[in-house]
Amino acid sequence: MKPNIRKIEFFDRENEKREILNILRTEPQLLNFIYGPINSGKTTLITDMIENLPDDYVVFYVNLRRKSIIRYEDFIRVLFAIEEGGFLKKIKNIFTKVLKHITSTGEKTLYKSHGIPVDKSLLETFFKEKSNEDVFNYLVEYFKNIAKHKTPVLVIDELQMIGGLEINGKLIYKLFNFFIGLTKELHICHVFALSSDSLFIERVYNEAILKDRCRYLLINNFDEETTLKFLGKYNINKEEQKLIYKNIGGKPAHLIRIIDAKKRGKEIMNEVKEMLESRKKETNDTLRKLKEFGSEIKYNNVSYNVDYTKVISTLKMFGEKDEISANDISEVIKMYLVKDNILFAECANETIKPQSKLDLLAIREILKEMK
């Protein structure tokens, strides 16, 4: 008998995929921001798409989370991948037009790389030259060359990791300028920037240089219909499906935890209860720390105190409502609760809501128990 270890397969996202494919089919015009709640499936979606792209695309996937980025050097280190042979050689082959030959012999030429390949000596010059101008100039030339034969696609995951690069504040500006150069101005490379930090995206959204030069794609938690279908694939009956959606919502990472519990023969509702308890504990922990130690939010280099009572009264708004308008919440409180992954700010239509249904219910229970 086959052991019951069926892997969780990539599910749905048909609309989102179609939208991204449509973007990829046209000339690069805008910088694409892919955002959505934490663990909603942004990385999974883009990774799945990369794997299935036709040969005419050369994809560079850079995940900034892999390293801590505090200094300019750290940023350069994650952006590039030192390659002596392998990928670098293949890219050089494209440059020297061996490409035609490769394609005609039918060899697969889909390139994927973690970072932009450079050789060691070049990377070292980037470190020596204190100016970051050279790096971006190099990259523009690099993508221009690839674009002669193929369509380059640059994916930067966990973009918010560079948000803290205050020391080199201009770097973010230069990076966006570089992205805009590749898309809106030169039309040579598709750029996708991914982030769960909706406030970082919002900050970026307000950057003057980006006005009318970017597009936002929301990858949300699964909606009800998708959630039920997804659960249905893993031996979860209709009644359980509805209960699960009602109690935790449609965050893929949460659903996978339930599917896993079911596979291990656990009672679904017990798992749901455990998840709620643990989310309550985490949220309570955050609130307790705030009450005792206080906290502050920095904005334009000015620090603002986070008022505990105000945080609680903001959370109370979720007593009856599932979401609130950005106008109903103080900026400081919003930044605090979003930063701590309790709330998610949907910049496009200015709504603020908990990170998931599970979070919403955890907030409601905490407030009830406070009385």
Q: Which is nearer to ligand ADP, 161 or 287 (by Cβ)?
A: 161
Q: Which residue has the tokens 């919502």?
A: 249
40, 211 in Cβ contact below 8 A? no
CB of 42 to Mg ion, least distance (A): 5
Q: Which is nearer to Mg ion, 63 or 93 (by Cβ)?
A: 63
> Could you tell me how many residues make up the chain?
371
Does residue 145 belong to the site contacting ligand ADP (CB under 6 A)?
no
Q: Near ligand ADP by CB under 6 A, which window of 3-11, 62-70, 207-215, 267-275? A: 3-11
Q: Which is nearer to Mg ion, 41 or 181 (by Cβ)?
A: 41
Please give, one letter per residue, the 3-state secondary structure of 164-176. Answer: CCHHHCHHHHHHH
Does residue 11 belong to the site contacting ligand ADP (CB under 6 A)?
yes
Q: Which of 19, 23, 29, 38 binds ligand ADP (CB under 6 A)?
A: 38
Does residue 261 belong to the site contacting ligand ADP (CB under 6 A)?
no
Does residue 334 belong to the site contacting ligand ADP (CB under 6 A)?
no
What is the rounded distance in angstroms from the CA atom of residue 218 to the CA atom of residue 195?
A: 10
What is the rounded distance in angstroms from the CA atom of residue 10 to the CA atom of residue 79?
A: 27
Provide the b/e sequence for 227-239 (b: ≥16 CB within 10 Å). bbebbeebebeee
CB of 232 to ligand ADP, least distance (A): 13
193, 32 in Cβ contact below 8 A? yes
Q: Which is nearer to Mg ion, 181 or 252 (by Cβ)?
A: 252
Does residue 44 belong to the site contacting ligand ADP (CB under 6 A)?
yes
Query: What are the angstrom distances between the C-alpha of 356 and each of 27, 205, 362?
Result: 36, 23, 10
Q: Is 240 in a helix, a strand, or coil?
A: helix
Q: What secondary structure letter does DSSP report for 84?
A: S
Paired residues of 80 in beta bridges: 116
Write each residue from 165 to 204 as x if it is in contact with ligand ADP (CB under 6 A), else as -, in one continuous string. Answer: -------------------------------x--------
Binding-site ranges for Mg ion (CB under 5 A) = 43
Q: Which of 16, 20, 32, 41 binds ligand ADP (CB under 6 A)?
A: 41
What is the rounded distance in angstroms from the CA atom of residue 368 to the CA atom of residue 212?
A: 45
* Gyration radius of the chain's alpha carbons: 23
Q: Which residue has the tokens 């369509």?
A: 151
Phi, psi of 195 (to 5 degrees): -165, 145
Q: Which is nearer to Mg ion, 219 or 268 (by Cβ)?
A: 219
Does residue 341 belong to the site contacting ligand ADP (CB under 6 A)?
no
CB of 145 to ligand ADP, least distance (A): 31
Does residue 249 belong to the site contacting ligand ADP (CB under 6 A)?
no
Numbers of helices and strands, H then E, in the chain: 16, 13
CB of 330 to Mg ion, least distance (A): 29
CB of 8 to ligand ADP, least distance (A): 6
Size of the site for ligand ADP (CB under 6 A): 17
Q: Near ligand ADP by CB under 6 A, which window of 17-25, 31-39, 76-84, 206-214? A: 31-39
CA-based nearest residue to 63, from 45, 75, 50: 75
Q: Which is nearer to Mg ion, 144 or 339 (by Cβ)?
A: 339
355, 363 in Cβ contact below 8 A? no
Binding site for ligand ADP (CB under 6 A): 8, 10-13, 36, 38-44, 196, 252-253, 256
